[in-house]
Amino acid sequence: MSEANSQEIVEKLDRIVMNVNQRSFNPLLWPDWIYKRTQMYQEEIEFEGKVSKLIERIVHRKTTEINRSATWRQSAKLGCKDKKSLLDMLVERKLMGELDMTAEDILTETVTMFGTAIHTPPLTVSFILKVLSLRPDIQERVYTEICDVFHEEQKEWSYDDLSRLQYMDRVINETLRMFPVGPFILREVKKDMKIDNKHIPAGTILMLNIMGVHRSDRYHKDPLHFDPDRFLPERAGDIHPYSFLPFSSGPRNCIGQPLGWMMVKTLLVTTLRAFEIFPVADGVTDPSQFEINMDLMIHYVGGAKVRLVPRKASLLAAREANANDIYYTILCVL
């Protein structure tokens, strides 16, 4: 097998995700004896081999770097707070014998953390901005709340500042209800069980359809209507805790929820303070018409396109001419 190359792996990853997706939705590919005869399986094996080699190389390099640094053992013991990456910390703990993980476990955890953290918040923001472009009433409320919480010149903000943006919380919740970027989760059944009188044998992989639950009128009134106020505290009783699961639930739920929430809010505050969001002429007039495709996450087909008009300029533009002609920017988050 050729030498592992990170660029090549990044490029192949999309293909592998597509294969996983194709297999998940095609029962003919479920039995291993069929799947193992396919081109997809060959690609998977080749990919796994390359990833393992890359993992070995990275962890080996980190271990050598850390071992070379004369002070690491002492500083780790003293709990020194110099800036370390997650990978540094895990490798250090392993060298100190405090962590029962293989090199592969360490890198898999790091990659999972990185992979989930970089995709989910921007995807969520892309859906929110697309909604705001079509619903100026909601955009105005979000912007007014930002202006109430932040001074005009404020460049930095705290967790507490972000917590005061409560209407924004509702808009994020409602977006994640209609567009949960993690649309389903998978669980392996450990013991034989019954659901709705149907026997589910141990070893079955269950796909839990989060998006289906979020859009079911059994659990949400008028589910295709975008209404942030369904998340008002006084209406909390209307939403069963297991009918709204954008971060999943149980022992394997999302560990990055608080960070993800702050990332989404920070992106929204930064964008909305600088720009007003307008729709593009794509014929879409309501969030219920969004065209979505799904692999392990959901994406707006072709990217969620909106027009961003700088706020200060938009006042001028509104006075002088048609704003659409003056500033025309397309935001396309994949």
**Interface residues toward ligand HEM, by CB under 6 A:** 112-113, 116-117, 120-121, 124, 176, 181-182, 185, 246-248, 252-256, 259-260, 263-264
Nearest-approach distance from CB 110 to ligand HEM, in angstroms = 10
Count how many residues are written for the chain: 334
- Measured CA to CA, the distance from residue 60 to residue 91 in angstroms comes to 10
Q: Which is nearer to ligand HEM, 117 or 332 (CB)?
A: 117
Nearest-approach distance from CB 152 to ligand HEM, in angstroms = 28
Closest by CA to 15, choosing from 46, 54, 51, 43, is: 43
Q: Which is nearer to ligand HEM, 118 or 236 (CB)?
A: 118
Using an 8 Å Cβ cutoff, are 281 and 163 in contact?
Answer: no
Nearest-approach distance from CB 114 to ligand HEM, in angstroms = 8
Nearest-approach distance from CB 255 to ligand HEM, in angstroms = 5
| Residue 254 annotated in ligand binding | yes
Token look-up 């479920």 returns 30
Instruction: Return the SS3 of 333.
Output: strand
* Stretch (H or E) spanning 198: strand 198-200
- Report the Cα–Cα distance between both ends of the chain, in Å, rounded: 32
Q: Which is nearer to ligand HEM, 16 or 254 (CB)?
A: 254
The conformational region for residue 57 under phi > 0 = left, psi -120 to 50 = alpha, else beta, is alpha
Nearest-approach distance from CB 150 to ligand HEM, in angstroms = 22
Q: Which is nearer to ligand HEM, 263 or 269 (CB)?
A: 263
- Measured CA to CA, the distance from residue 228 to residue 212 in angstroms comes to 19
Q: Report CA dihedral (288, 289, 295, 300) to the nearest 10 degrees.
A: -110
Q: Which is nearer to ligand HEM, 248 or 324 (CB)?
A: 248
For the annotated binding site, the residues are: 254
User: Binding site for heme: which residues?
Assistant: 254
